[in-house]
């Protein structure tokens, strides 16, 4: 009878657990005229791509979360998109970055989430989510739905 070594497992590898949401101070592109934080790709020569409004760099405390997934990056992006659309988000993708913009007003305002997938090694990818607008409780709901989706499929 053959016995598997202690490190071998017949189960598929599981996705590492998600981190808890935390606050981080970061420099952001703030557009006072639009009243929002803009991604680097939305700023050209110090003005917003949309409307040409001045943009300033400022320190900002924002909630962000991240989790790891063993799925390929393109599969992670597809799963986030497939999950976000039925939840009422408009999805905008560019490279391995994605913006989820709520199409209905929540408790305080429309929820907006920025996501980015980073390759950490050949297999695991780090997925970072940042609330760029809207209600924190709604953001946490979206975050945990995405984490559960990746744990089930990872």
In a domain, 48, yes or no: yes
11-55 per-position pLDDT tens digit: 333 444 444 555 666 778 888 998 888 888 889 999 999 899 999
Count structural domains, the chain.
1
Location of structure tokens 């996501």: 115
CATH of the domain at 125: 3.30.310.80
Question: What is the pTM for the complete model shown?
Answer: 0.54
Higher pLDDT, 10 or 86: 86
Assigned domain for 58 exists: yes
Range of the domain at 32: 22-153
pLDDT bracket for residue 136 (50, 70, 90)? confident
Q: Is residue 123 part of a domain?
A: yes
Sole residue written with tokens 């929002």: 36
User: Considering the domain boundaries, does residue 7 fall inside one?
Assistant: no
């Amino acid at each position: 009878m053959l016995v598997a070594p202690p490190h071998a497992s017949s189960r598929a590898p599981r996705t590492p657990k998600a981190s808890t949401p935390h606050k981080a101070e970061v420099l952001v592109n703030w557009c006072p005229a639009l009243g929002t934080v803009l991604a680097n790709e939305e700023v050209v020569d110090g003005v917003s791509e949309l409307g040409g409004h001045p943009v300033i760099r400022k320190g900002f405390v924002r909630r962000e979360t991240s989790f790891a997934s063993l799925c390929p990056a393109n599969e992670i992006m597809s799963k986030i998109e497939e999950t976000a659309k039925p939840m009422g988000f408009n999805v905008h993708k560019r490279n391995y970055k994605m913006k989820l913009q709520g199409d209905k007003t929540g408790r305080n305002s429309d929820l907006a989430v920025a996501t980015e997938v980073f390759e950490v090694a050949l297999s695991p990818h780090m997925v970072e989510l940042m609330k760029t607008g809207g209600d924190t409780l709604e953001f946490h709901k979206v975050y945990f739905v995405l984490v559960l989706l990746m744990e089930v499929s990872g």
